[in-house]
Amino acid sequence: MNNYQARLDSIVEDFAAPESGTAAPDVGPYRGRVPEALIDCWQQNGIGTILDGYFQFCDPARYSGVVRRVFAGDPEIHPEQTHVLGFGAFGTIIAWNEVYQNVTIDLVNGQVSCQALVNGKTYDPNIAVTSEVMLLDDPTFDEYDADAQKLFKPARSKLGKLGMGQIYGFRPILALGGNRALANLSICEALPHMAILAQAHEMRLMDNAPFPPQPVRRIGS
């Protein structure tokens, strides 16, 4: 058994296998570029939604355009080396970078997290990626209203469960003056809404070690 297989088994045990999705994406282009644990995860479980739509695994190729918009011209995080694993119900992306490992792109708030880039520490790739996937129920994939109340469960109750390729989005988006309120949320097709969010901000690389997290630099050229 691979040293990460027990972790993959525990992920399915904790979150259940993805639903409403498809078989694995074409893994050929990703061999040697993403950890073998991720290849095995795709092949064993396919892609789709988990946790009632709180997170969904996706085909990286479909969302590569969003990555290009976010990291175009960046001197360190190159978009062609950055592969989307999936995204949360409000569009927060987790990705794998061939050099800097785990990358999180918070499109709603204009922030990028990549601790290996900030602190210079990398780990066994299979352990690094499965550690990230084991945290997909983390509160950071939720959004909050103006009173700091979580929005995922109220949005699901009001708007319905997300399907594959959908997210909850603020209209108008927050960067253009939208309000953090349940009344301003709607179900959006993920890809075009993410593209709008990616263009609306000046994205910032964040250092998550201190509290609160501190900006390091601007993302992009």
Per-residue pLDDT of the chain (221 residues; tens, 9 = 90+): 578 888 888 888 999 889 877 788 899 999 999 999 999 999 999 999 999 999 999 999 999 999 999 999 999 999 999 999 999 999 999 999 999 999 999 999 999 999 999 999 999 999 999 999 999 999 999 999 999 999 999 999 999 999 999 999 999 999 999 999 999 999 999 999 999 999 998 899 999 989 899 999 999 87
The answer to whether the CB of 160 falls within 8 A of the CB of 185 is no
The answer to whether the CB of 90 falls within 8 A of the CB of 141 is yes
pLDDT of the residue at 201:
83
Place of tokens 């109340």: 149
Token digits of residue 56: 């969904």
pLDDT of the residue at 129:
96
Range of the domain at 81: 5-218
pLDDT of the residue at 50:
95
pTM over 0.85: yes
pLDDT of the residue at 78:
97
pLDDT of the residue at 22:
79
The answer to whether the CB of 151 falls within 8 A of the CB of 139 is no
- CA separation for the pair 209, 114 (Å, rounded): 11
Reported as type and span, the H/E element at residue 197 is helix 190-200
Q: Cβ–Cβ contacts within 10 Å for residue 146, how many?
A: 8
From residue 201, give the alpha-carbon distance in Å to each of 95, 105, 150, 197, 212: 19, 12, 23, 7, 20
Q: How many domains does the chain have?
A: 1
